[in-house]
Structures are given as C-alpha cells and as structure tokens.
Amino acid sequence: MEIRSELRGERRPPLPGSSPDVAERVGIDLNPLSVTDEADASWLRALVIPDQLRRHERLAAAIDLAREDPPALVAGDALDVLPDVLADLPDEATPCVFSTLTLYQFEDDEVASLRATLRDASRERPVHWLSGDPDSPTGTPTYRHVAFEDGDPLERELATHAAYGEWIEWLAGE
C-alpha cells in the first residue's frame, strides 16, 4: 500500500534509494491489540469514523500487511518495558523508537524518563527516536527526530503535518 499526502512548502525530504533493513519490530502498549485476532481487528475498524472511507481503506490495507508479518507485541507501560526491549534487540541492530501522537498522554517527568532511557541505551549503540508530537509552537503536529549517541542527543524538527496524512510540510534539510 502507498500512502499519498499533499506535499506542502518548498523543501523536499532526502529519500534514500531503498528502505532500510528492519531487524525486528516490537509494539509496546498497556493493552496491545493484535490484527491477527479478529476481535481486535474489528475493534480497530470500529474506531474509524464511518464516513471516512479513505481511513477505512488505509486501515484495511495496514491490517492485511501486518497480518503477513505481525510484529512482536509487549504488554506494559513503555517506561517500564522499553529498557528491556532495547536490550533484547540484536547487537547489530540500530534501535529506532517510533511514537506518534502519544506523548500527550505522558506527564513532563515521564517524557524526561523516556528521553533518559533512550539516552542511556545510546551509550551502547546509537538510538534514533522518531516522534509525531501534537504540541508545537504553531499548534500543528510536528515530526521530530532525536539521534542519541554516547548519551548525547541531536534533535531536529523534520516536518509539520495534518492528521491522518492529509498533508506534510518538510522543515529539515534543503
């Protein structure tokens, strides 16, 4: 499936010639839902507003794709289980933590704890954090990349975007 978004602004993302290899995919949630379970997939479908056909189509395609190669799912609080998940990844893998519109559920001290976990893990190997955050100075959600290496973060805003991929405006680079 291909997700199409309106690309706004003058800047363009520097896309690689091929996708990176993914060693492992792990989802963490207090109550993880598995698309291989029909009741869970039905619940996910029920969460999409009925008249939003494009979102229903995307979800159906995402469910089909995830059923082909389901990710490992870990039940628990991310702040509690993420250190073990990162430690259990293959040694040759570069961890990339992805969170999208979840930080609004965290208190400030919990976000600081998450950052500390990623910083600490980066003392063993680089760690990347891609986050779609709801809060930004403009009020528009922002994609952000934080590269942690040897405990040091390098942070940059990548893009602003509308919900559900309607449009994206690249901020980083050229």
pLDDT for position 3: 74
Tokens 């010639």 found at? 17
Handedness of CA 76, 47, 63, 129 (dihedral sign): negative
pLDDT for position 13: 85
Q: Which of these, 154, 86, 77, lies nearest to 125 by C-alpha position? A: 86
**Which of the four pLDDT bands, split at 50, 70 and 90, describes residue 136?**
low
Domain ranges, ordered by start, for the chain: 26-76, 78-164
Distance CA 157, CA 160 (A): 8
Tens-place pLDDT, residues 83-103: 999 999 999 999 999 998 788
- Reduce the DSSP state of residue 97 to 3 states and report it: strand
The residues pairing with 65 across neighbouring beta strands, listed in sequence order, are none
Mean pLDDT of 128-135: 84
Joined tokens for residue 120 = 């600490």
pLDDT for position 137: 60
What are the two backbone dihedrals, phi and then psi, of residue 102, each rounded to the nearest 5 degrees?
-115, -20
Tens-place pLDDT, residues 65-78: 999 999 999 999 99
Instruction: Say if residue 132's pLDDT is above 70.
Output: yes
C-beta atoms surrounding 56 within 10 Å: 14
Distance CA 73, CA 130 (A): 19
Query: How many CA within 13 A on the CB side of residue 102?
Result: 15
Tens-place pLDDT, residues 18-51: 988 889 999 999 999 999 999 999 999 999 999 9
pLDDT for position 1: 62
Distance CA 33, CA 41 (A): 8
Mean pLDDT of 145-151: 96
- Find the range with the poorest average confidence among 28-37, 88-97, 140-149, 157-166: 157-166
